[in-house]
C-alpha cells in the first residue's frame, strides 16, 4: 500500500466511523481529481465487503450490469447471483452477499461515483433508500461510503434529501484540494527537491489537486514541469479544462460561460454582471449554476467590507481554471517552450501577482496563525473604491482591521517612498469610506520578506511564504 500523504483529518474521521458502535452512512464529495477514491481505497485497502464504481454516461442497463459483476466478485462461490433489472433487486442481492460474509468489524461498502448510477427514470435512489432504511441502518456492522464528483447531486439527493434519505447520512466529508503543506509533503514523497518558492509557482498553476501534482517530474524545475504539463503538444493538462467541467455538470457549457465571465474581473462580479457577460438570464437557472460551482469549490462568494448581502460578489478561485483561461487556451501546441519564454513578460508578472493573492486567500487560516489571532473571531472581506483596493481584509473582534498586501517576488520586497505614500492613501481612503474606528494594520504577505528600507515601518505585520506552509 502506498503512503497516504496528508488528509490526516479525513482519515481520522473515516477511522472513527469504522470504529463506532452503529452502522454509518458517509458521503464524500469534492471536485474531480481531488483524490476521493484514492482516500477511501488507501484507508480501507483490502477491507471492502463490496465495492463498485458508476459508469460515466452509462445507461441504467450498463450500471446494473456493472453492479451485478461486482456482486459476483464479492459473493461466496456457492452463491448464485441472479440477473436483475431493477435497483431494488440489485440492493436485495447486495444484502444477501453481505449477510453471507463473516466479519470481526464493520463491513465496508463503497459506492464510488454514485451520481453516475442515478440514470433517468432508474429509481436508483429508491433502491438505495430501501437498502439503508430497511436493512443497513438497523444493524451495527455496516459502513456505507458513497463518493461523487458532482457535488450538486450529492448535496441535493443525499445531504439535503427531502424524501426517504432525509437525515440518513451520518457523516459527510467535503474533500478540498491539498494545502501548501500537504502539497510539499506530497512532492517530497514523490522525490521532488523543489524549494518552497517553486512549490508556490506550481500551486499557482495547478492548485492543490493531487492528480495534477502526481504528474510533476522530480529533477525538473517548476517552470519545466508547467511547460511539460500544460503547453507541449500532447500535454496532459492542455485539454483538462473541458474534461473537468463536462464530467461534473450536464450542461457544462453554461457553467463554463459563467466561469469565463468571472475570469474577466479579478475582484469578481455581482449577479447582474455575470448574467450580462455570460448571456444567461438572471433567474433560477443562474442561481443553480452559481450554487453548483460554489459547492464544487470553483468559485467563492464574499462581500466587500461595509457592503450589504445584496452586494454579494462571486469570484473565480480555482487556480487551474484561472491559469487555463489566462494562458493555455490561447497558446498553440506548436510553441513547446511557451512558458519558459513567457517568464519575463508583463502578462506573466500581472498574472503571478494575482495568482499569489489567490494562494493567500486559500490559506487565510495560516495567515491568522502567523498573526497570532487563530483564536480571535474574524470576518474576511475585500474592499474596493475608485482609487484603491485591498483583496484581503481581516476584520477582527479585538478592534483591529488587517489590510493585507500580498506580493510575489524572487527577492525581498521593497517598500519605497512612492509605495509608502500609496499605503497611506489606501488607509485614509479605507477609513473615510468605511467610517471604521478600529486600528488599521498594514500586513505584508511576501515570498522573501521585506527589505529594510526607511519605509519598512509602514508594515505593522510581516509574513513570509514559509508561514503559508504551516499545518493548521
DSSP, res 343 = T
In the predicted model, what is the mean pLDDT of residues 325-335?
Answer: 87
Residue the block writes with cell 452559481 = 290
> Can you tell me the distance from the alpha carbon of 301 to that of 382, in angstroms, rounded to the nearest whole number?
11
Beta pairing, strands 24-29 & 48-53: unpaired
Domains and CATH numbers, the chain: 8-174 (3.40.50.300), 180-238+333-353 (no CATH), 241-325 (1.10.10.10), 364-469 (3.40.1350)
And the C-alpha cell for 376? 480571535
Q: What is the pLDDT of residue 1?
A: 43
pLDDT of 250: 82
Tell me the torsion sign for CA atoms 220, 225, 231, 234: positive
Sequence-ordered list of residues with C-beta below 8 angstroms from that of 352, at least 6 positions apart, any chain:
204, 408
- pTM summary value: 0.92
Say if strands 313-316 and 378-384 run parallel, antiparallel, or are unpaired.
unpaired
3-state secondary structure of 39: helix
Other C-beta atoms closer than 10 Å to the C-beta of 424 total: 12
**Cα 340 to Cα 18, 212, 225, 252, 346, distances in angstroms:** 48, 19, 10, 32, 14
pLDDT reported for residue 310: 63
Which band of pLDDT confidence, cut at 50, 70 and 90, is reported for residue 105? confident
The CA distance from 261 to 277, in Å, is 6
Write out the three cell numbers for 393: 481584509
Report pLDDT digits (tens) over 150-180.
Answer: 888 888 899 888 888 888 999 999 999 999 9
Residue 410 binned pLDDT confidence (cut-offs 50, 70, 90): very high
Helix (H) or strand (E) holding 316: strand 313-316
Transcribe 351-406 into DSSP letters: HHHHHHHHHHHTTHHHHHHHHT-TTS-EEEEEEE-SS-EEEEEEEETTSEEEEEEE
pLDDT at 82: 84
Residue carrying C-alpha cell 493548521: 472
Give phi and psi for 89, each to the nearest 5. Answer: -70, -35
Amino acid at each position: 500500500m502506498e503512503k497516504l500523504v496528508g488528509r490526516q483529518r479525513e482519515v481520522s474521521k473515516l477511522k472513527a466511523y469504522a470504529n463506532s458502535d452503529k452502522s454509518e452512512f458517509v458521503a464524500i464529495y469534492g471536485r474531480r481529481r481531488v483524490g476521493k477514491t484514492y482516500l477511501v481505497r488507501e484507508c480501507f485497502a483490502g477491507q471492502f465487503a463490496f465495492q463498485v464504481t458508476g459508469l460515466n454516461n452509462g445507461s441504467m442497463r450498463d450500471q446494473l450490469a456493472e453492479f451485478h459483476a461486482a456482486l459476483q466478485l464479492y459473493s461466496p462461490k456457492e452463491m448464485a447471483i441472479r440477473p436483475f433489472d431493477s435497483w431494488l433487486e440489485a440492493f436485495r442481492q447486495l444484502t444477501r452477499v453481505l449477510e453471507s460474509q463473516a466479519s470481526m468489524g464493520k463491513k465496508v461498502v463503497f459506492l464510488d461515483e454514485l451520481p453516475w448510477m442515478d440514470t433517468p427514470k432508474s429509481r436508483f435512489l429508491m433502491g438505495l433508500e430501501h437498502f439503508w432504511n430497511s436493512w443497513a441502518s438497523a444493524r451495527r456492522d455496516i459502513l456505507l461510503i458513497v463518493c461523487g464528483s458532482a457535488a450538486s447531486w450529492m448535496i441535493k439527493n443525499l445531504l439535503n434529501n427531502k424524501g426517504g434519505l432525509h437525515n440518513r447520512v451520518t457523516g459527510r466529508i467535503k474533500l478540498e484540494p491539498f494545502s501548501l503543506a500537504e502539497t510539499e509533503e506530497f512532492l517530497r514523497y514523490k522525490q521532488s527537491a523543489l524549494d518552497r518558492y517553486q512549490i508556490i509557482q506550481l500551486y499557482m498553476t495547478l492548485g492543490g489537486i493531487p492528480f495534477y501534482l502526481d504528474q510533476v517530474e522530480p529533477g525538473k524545475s517548476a517552470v519545466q514541469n508547467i511547460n511539460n504539463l500544460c503547453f507541449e503538444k500532447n500535454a496532459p493538462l492542455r485539454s483538462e479544462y473541458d474534461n473537468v467541467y463536462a464530467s461534473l455538470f450536464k450542461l457544462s457549457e453554461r457553467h463554463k460561460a459563467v466561469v469565463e465571465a468571472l475570469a474577466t474581473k479579478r475582484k469578481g462580479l455581482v449577479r447582474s454582471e455575470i448574467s450580462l457577460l455570460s448571456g444567461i438570464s438572471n433567474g433560477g437557472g443562474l442561481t443553480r449554476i452559481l450554487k453548483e460551482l460554489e459547492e464544487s469549490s470553483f468559485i467563492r462568494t464574499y462581500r466587500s467590507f461595509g457592503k450589504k448581502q445584496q452586494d454579494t460578489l462571486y469570484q473565480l478561485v480555482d487556480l487551474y481554471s484561472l491559469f487555463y483561461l489566462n494562458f493555455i487556451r490561447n497558446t498553440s501546441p506548436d510553441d513547446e517552450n511557451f512558458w519558459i519564454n513567457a517568464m519575463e513578460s508583463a502578462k506573466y508578472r500581472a498574472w503571478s501577482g494575482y495568482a499569489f493573492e489567490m494562494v493567500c486567500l486559500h490559506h487565510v487560516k495560516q495567515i491568522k496563525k502567523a498573526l497570532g489571532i487563530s483564536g480571535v473571531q474574524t470576518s474576511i472581506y475585500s474592499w474596493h473604491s475608485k482609487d484603491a483596493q485591498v483583496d484581503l481584509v481581516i476584520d477582527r473582534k479585538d478592534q483591529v482591521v488587517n489590510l493585507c498586501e500580498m506580493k510575489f517576488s524572487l527577492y525581498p520586497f521593497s517598500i519605497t517612498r512612492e509605495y509608502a505614500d500609496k499605503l497611506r492613501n489606501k488607509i485614509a481612503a479605507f477609513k473615510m469610506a468605511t467610517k471604521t474606528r478600529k486600528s488599521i494594520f498594514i500586513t505584508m504577505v511576501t515570498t522573501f520578506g521585506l527589505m529594510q528600507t526607511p519605509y519598512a515601518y509602514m508594515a505593522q505585520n510581516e509574513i513570509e511564504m514559509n508561514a503559508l506552509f504551516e499545518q493548521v
